[in-house]
Structure 1
């Protein structure tokens, strides 16, 4: 079952789209013959403006209609040509959904897309190049998604980087720090911004899932401090976006946290160079397909149940982690499961 970390009660749906905030002079130019509209926009009273819009569209009730979200779902996953992103894509496709994958590498996008099309058909999977650190790229990704599928139900922000660097911060290069921070923090913010802008204009609305990682629980991450700091910020960003959406009475878009735990990807395994790292990887890590088998049904259950409450879905719960550590210490379980320990 998905773990619900926070639930924010949403008000009646009265917000149909992004509010436009103009200066008084600009508002006067835009609405020269409509003083009431001019005052609303110039004053930034987006809730009242949204109410007027809702009444006009819904027929006077003041409540915008939201179409029910039913499968198959349209899914977009960033950083999805390998690792957990690719495993999630396959699992959604196995469930009958339509999937858009992307990454920075045109070669990996082409290879992954071709492989998935061979298995699941030409009409269910698409791929495109996108650098999440670039706003223009993410905007182009949204346009691509609209062109192929018209709308996205589930957007998963999986793209992340540790610059394949496991060393103390004092030994980390400027280039590696910029790679980690711009991908994991700036890229996530840009993707959330564009996903929200896309979804709140969709009749079905949408769900955004931000994937966290080591450090998101506040525990130290020696040898990859920058990565841990960025993943800690994922939780805060998600909570802030949940509060912003509630504040603006946006009831058709929800932002969630998704925690895959330790996954035996290239990123994780490249750091299996110390006794402690090998110990915890063998005990706690799982292959991408095993993690995806758990996460995808829990993600799909949210729109299936018509839920519009923020959730925190965790694969590796605290209870599971402690029970595995106990089994290892008491019975030697999972020793050398993935890497040979010293």
Structure 2
């Protein structure tokens, strides 16, 4: 029997990148997976790709904007009622917008926080309510970042949202502990995805040069951490943030050839 057979898992922001990889790993381990993305076409394509790979229909696309609380509540309720419960939420959806503090706009700030903070908070709330309704001692996993631990130029606002998710994990863990629900966060470091390679074609080489373990993260590094935190083996871990960064936050250097983010 696979590790997540008969478990229902919802992953937000999963049309590509880390979220897609997490969906793929859970589906391969036997879970029924709700793959969420704001882009309906991308969500359907991603779900179809994983289902074709594993040879079963285990992944179901759900298109909704995580910043829209009513849409999130509807999605969680529909998935949980269709599959008789919700066991795991991976609140992966998030956006990055670079900007220097002195010129950062209220519009950019509101867009960023509405997804990264409000979206994660109310996704977790909807998931927790579903877990409680179905009497499931579930797992909620938030997606933080190394930028929530160490400052990074032109990412002050983004880093604030990721630091907030670390504290959110602690606060929610305290309130949801009596229901048997654990809440943790993953502090992802430099990770090779389609987006990071588009931003910097030399991404892997650049970040290899400054990682204490000499390698850049892969999507599976984050996905495997999510699998662990969602498993019974992690039942006594809650309110914590696991850094998946190859040790980068030990001293946090930036690659010499890292492209400037000033004009992004």
Residue-by-residue CA offset, 1:45-87 (whole Å, 9 max, x unaligned): xxxxxxxxxxxxxxxxxxxxxxxx9744211100011000001
Q: Does 1:298 align with 2:246?
A: no
> Could you say which residue in structure 2 is the equivalent of 1:20?
none
CA apart distance, 1:243:
2.0
In the TM superposition, what whole-angstrom CA distance separates every residue of 1:254-299 from its partner, at most 9, and x where no partner exists? 21112232212345456549x999844654432313432x324423
- Name the CA shift for 1:133/1:282 in 2 (closer, same or farther; >3 Å): farther
2:163 to 232, 235, 245: 232
Give the drift of 1:146.
1.8
1:214/1:266 CA distance change after superposition, 3 Å: farther
- Cα distance in 2 between the residues matched to 1:207 and 1:183: 21
- 8 Å CA contact 2:4–2:26 kept in 1: the answer is no
How many corresponding residue pairs? 252
In the other structure, the counterpart of 2:175 is 244
What's the CA shift for 1:312? 3.3
Q: Give the distance between the partners of 1:224 and 1:108, measured in 2 at CA.
A: 27
- SS of 1:205's equivalent in the other structure is coil
Structure 1 unaligned blocks of 5 or more: 1-68, 326-333
Q: CA deviation at 1:322?
A: 5.2
State the Cα deviation string for residues 188-222 of structure 1 (Å, max 9, x = none).
111111111111122322110011013222x2121
Given candidates 205, 213, 218, the residue that maps to 1:287 is 218
| Alpha-carbon offset, residue 317 of structure 1 | 5.3
Structure 2 Cα separation of the partners of residues 229 and 90 of structure 1: 29
Structure 1 residue aligned with 2:147, among 215, 234, 249? 215
The RMSD of aligned alpha carbons is 3.3
In 2, the alpha carbon distance for the partners of 1:288 and 1:282 equals 19
Q: 1:149 aligns with which of 80, 83, 102?
A: 83
Query: Separation in 1 of the partners of 2:27 and 2:78?
Result: 19
Change (3 A) 1:119 1:270: closer
Cα 1:200/1:101, change in 2 over 3 Å: same
| 2:43 counterpart of 1:109 | yes
Among residues 286, 306, 312, which one is paired with 2:241 in the alignment? 312
Which residue, 183, 187, 190 being the options, matches 1:262?
190
Give 1:314 deviation, angstroms. 3.0
Measured after TM superposition, the shift of residue 126 of structure 1 is: 0.5
Pair member with larger Rg: 1
> Does the 8 Å contact 1:78/1:102 carry over to 2?
yes
Normalising to structure 2: TM-score of the pair? Answer: 0.82
Q: Is the 8 A contact 1:206 1:252 kept in 2?
A: yes
Structure with a larger share of its residues in strand: 2
Task: Please tell me whether residue 171 in structure 1 is matched to residue 99 in structure 2.
Answer: no
Deviations 1:70-111 (A, max 9, x none): 744211100011000001111111222221100111111111
Residues 114/183 of structure 1: CA separation in 2 closer, same or farther (3 Å cut)? same
In 1, Cα distance between equivalents of 2:18 and 2:203: 23
- Quote the offset at 1:119 in angstroms: 1.6
TM-score with structure 1 setting the length: 0.64
Report the alpha carbon displacement of residue 152 of structure 1 after superposing the two structures with TM: 1.4
